[in-house]
Amino acid sequence: MLTKRIIPCLDVKDGRTVKGVRFEGLRDAGDPVALASRYAREGADELVFLDITATNQKRATLVALVRDVARELDIPFTVGGGIGTVADVEALLLNGADKVSINSAALARPELIDELAARFGSQCIVVAADARYNDADGWQIYTRAGTHNTGRDAVQWCREAAERGAGELLLTSMSNDGTKDGFALDITGAVSRAVSVPVVASGGAGSKQDFTRVFQQAHADAGLAASIFHFGEIGIRELKEHLRADGIPVRL
């Protein structure tokens, strides 16, 4: 039976992981390879690396990072963050990334999704979408780290991305991100029902029960989180044991 996936997300800048990572037994918490290997051993199903480097060397450092990670890691990983061209995607895939996620570039020019899917196959093209809720418009898609409202309806955009060839959607609720109040079940469920490709839920995870809810009530295919894993608040193995006890299929 296909299992629900648990995905830790690592923010990287200039080839190093950033945001505090408090892990015992890691000699260097900024080393993405060491951290990735640790998560893999603990039972992570995949990893996501989100590159927040904003320099001219971005592409070179990201390609080098992907190579280092791929050399060590024996589980799949996705790379995202400011990736905008076919050439960028090709360089990352050739160096060992399993999937590449695009966000703003797809919103600026949706045809990019078609081009990438035709060239590399849908299986490695993830569209990341950041949604925020307001009472007047409902769930809308934002860019530029959640500061700019594109005016696009979240469900419609996700449906379009899937129809254009995205093989997976990474849906982040900006309204929930960082709150630890749980995933946005309504929009995650609405998107999951609207598309026929897998949906990764992101934003708001604070407890094991939040993962149970997003799988059982919103039909997410995977749950992604960052800080709760980095700070050791929830161990991946204990999370998966909790999910299994709740009747959710997981790889243990």
Partner 1 sequence: MEIAVIDYKGGNVQSVLFALERLGVQATLTSEPEVIRRADKVLFPGEGEAASAMRELRAQGLDELLPTLTQPFLGICLGMQLLGQHSEEGGGTGLLGILPFNVIRFPSAPEYKVPHMGWNNLQALRSPLFEGLREEDYVYFVHSYYAPVGDYTIAQAEYPAPFSAAVQYKNFYAVQFHTEKSGPVGTRILENFLKL
By annotation, the residues acting in catalysis are 11, 130
d(C-alpha 63, C-alpha 94), whole Å: 9
Q: Which of residues 97-156 bind partner 1 (CB under 8 A)?
A: 97-98, 118, 120-124
Angle at 242 (CA atoms; ends 215, 203), nearest 5 degrees: 45
Choose between 69 and 102: whose C-beta lies nearer to partner 1: 69
Binding to partner 1 by residue 2, rule CB under 8 A? yes
Choose between 168 and 177: whose C-beta lies nearer to partner 1: 168
Closest approach, Cβ 43 to partner 1, in A, equals 9
Q: Which of 88, 221, 223, 224 contacts partner 1 by CB under 8 A?
A: 221
Q: Which of 28, 54, 57, 71 contacts partner 1 by CB under 8 A?
A: 71
Closest approach, Cβ 48 to partner 1, in A, equals 14
Which residue is it, tokens 């979240």? 154
Closest approach, Cβ 129 to partner 1, in A, equals 16
Binding to partner 1 by residue 240, rule CB under 8 A? no
Binding to partner 1 by residue 193, rule CB under 8 A? yes
Q: Which of 11, 45, 88, 210 contacts partner 1 by CB under 8 A?
A: 45
Binding to partner 1 by residue 93, rule CB under 8 A? yes
Strands 222-225 and 199-202: parallel
Binding to partner 1 by residue 164, rule CB under 8 A? no
Q: Which two tokens stand for residue 42?
A: 């603990």
Stretch that binds partner 1, among 31-39, 81-89, 93-101, 237-245 (CB under 8 A): 93-101
Percent helix, strand, coil in the chain, to 5, is 40, 25, 40
Q: How many CB atoms lie within 10 A of CB 225?
A: 25
- For residue 78, give the amino acid letter: T
Contact yes or no for 215/235 (Cβ under 8 A): no
Q: Which of 167, 182, 203, 206 contacts partner 1 by CB under 8 A?
A: 167
d(C-alpha 178, C-alpha 163), whole Å: 30
Instruction: Please work out the total of residues on this chain that contact partner 1, with binding judged by CB under 8 A.
Output: 38
d(C-alpha 34, C-alpha 190), whole Å: 37
Q: Which two tokens stand for residue 192?
A: 């999951």
Q: What is the largest CA-CA distance in the chain?
A: 49
Binding to partner 1 by residue 251, rule CB under 8 A? yes
Contact yes or no for 42/23 (Cβ under 8 A): no
Binding to partner 1 by residue 87, rule CB under 8 A? no
Stretch that binds partner 1, among 13-21, 63-71, 104-112, 179-187 (CB under 8 A): 63-71
Q: How far is CA 59 from the centre of its chain?
A: 19
**3-state secondary structure labels for all residues of 121-133:** CHHHEEEEEEEEE
The residues that touch partner 1, with contacts defined as CB under 8 A, are: 1-5, 40, 45, 67, 70-72, 74-76, 93-98, 118, 120-124, 167-168, 193, 195-199, 219, 221-222, 251
